[in-house]
Amino acid sequence: MLDDLVHDPGLLLVAEKLALLRALPSVRSQQARHIRSAYEQAAHHLTGTAPISERAAYLQLSAHRCGATGLAAQVDALGLSMPWRTRWAWWSTTGVHRQLVGHDGGVLALAIGDLDGQPVAVTGSRDETCRVWDLTTQRPMGDPLRHGSDRITAVAVGELGEYSIVITGGDDGRLRVWDLSSGQPMGEPLLGHTNAITSVAALAHDGRTLAVSGSRDGSARLWDLTGASRWESRCAATAARSTR
């Protein structure tokens, strides 16, 4: 029945957003797929805290840009006093996507992983925070992680024993390890770099959890997170010297 129901903008504007997002991939007709795309791309504006007239305006705009012109006309038929109305719109073609909205500054780093089988994304920003996102609900999980630097310039997701972890690197040259589930720091910052961290990756090797970081100080460092100690890879040090 969903292929028919999605043509009703009243349903789209008041339905529980998460439940609808989970159901929309099952639509089959071409027009219903256009409506699905319109809804998914405007979903971050269709929250219950916004006035329904404002939600309707965003839905109509998204419907026009995604080729769901019938839905756009049905929004007008609701008779709402919307803050604006869209008569036509043209956008370059984009794939179906959703937006994660929450940072107050540019996003500088991104990693993906899973927590208890659920897909998550981790983002680092110029706003001094790192955020963990539930990719199913499009919502942030818990409070932002505050690394302690002006910019979070590198992030990675990994496993440390029974814990899922996030590793953050900042423009202060420090690395921090966080419990992904609780959002709490694990131990003290890892010190060694003397300039901003530019990249970090986590890996498992021989029963241990390792991290590799690169920095604007011209070095790459290898960290043993399992033993909470640091040791440098000769290969990494040689590669760093060769790039100077």
At 64-96, the pLDDT tens digits run 999 999 999 999 999 999 999 999 988 776 666
Q: Is residue 100 part of a domain?
A: no
* pLDDT (average), residues 197-215: 93
One domain for residues 231 and 118? yes
In this structure, which long-range contacts are made by residues 92-95, counting pairs with CB atoms below 8 Å and at least 24 apart in sequence? 94/41
What pTM was estimated for this model as a whole? 0.68
What's the residue count for the chain? 244
Residue whose C-alpha is closest to residue 225's, from 149, 151, 163:
163
Q: If pLDDT is split at 50, 70 and 90, which confidence band does 26 have?
A: very high
One domain for residues 30 and 129? no
* pLDDT (average), residues 156-163: 91
Q: Is residue 98 part of a domain?
A: no
Residue whose C-alpha is closest to residue 153's, from 193, 132, 120, 123:
123
Q: Tell whether the model's pLDDT for residue 237 goes beyond 60.
A: no
Q: Is residue 95 part of a domain?
A: no
Residue pair 188/143 in contact by the 8 Å Cβ criterion: no
3-state secondary structure the chain: CHHHHCCCHHHHHHCCHHHHHHHHHHCCCHHHHHHHHHHHHHHHHCCCCCCHHHHHHHHHHHHHHCCCHHHHHHHHHCCCCCCCCCCCCCCCCCCCCCCCCCCCCCEEEEEEEEECCEEEEEEEECCCEEEEEECCCCEECCCCEECCCCCEEEEEEEEECCEEEEEEEECCCCEEEEECCCCCECCCCECCCCCCEEEEEEEEECCEEEEEEEECCCCEEEEECCCCEECCCHHHHHHHHHCC
One domain for residues 69 and 170? no
pLDDT reported for residue 96: 63
Range of the domain at 73: 2-77
One domain for residues 154 and 224? yes
Q: Is residue 9 part of a domain?
A: yes
One domain for residues 71 and 127? no
pLDDT reported for residue 149: 92
pLDDT reported for residue 91: 79
- CATH number for the domain that contains residue 228: 2.130.10.10
Q: Is residue 196 part of a domain?
A: yes
* pLDDT (average), residues 8-30: 92
One domain for residues 136 and 211? yes
pLDDT reported for residue 198: 96
* pLDDT (average), residues 197-205: 94
One domain for residues 54 and 116? no
Q: Is residue 223 part of a domain?
A: yes
Q: Tell whether the model's pLDDT for residue 135 goes beyond 60.
A: yes
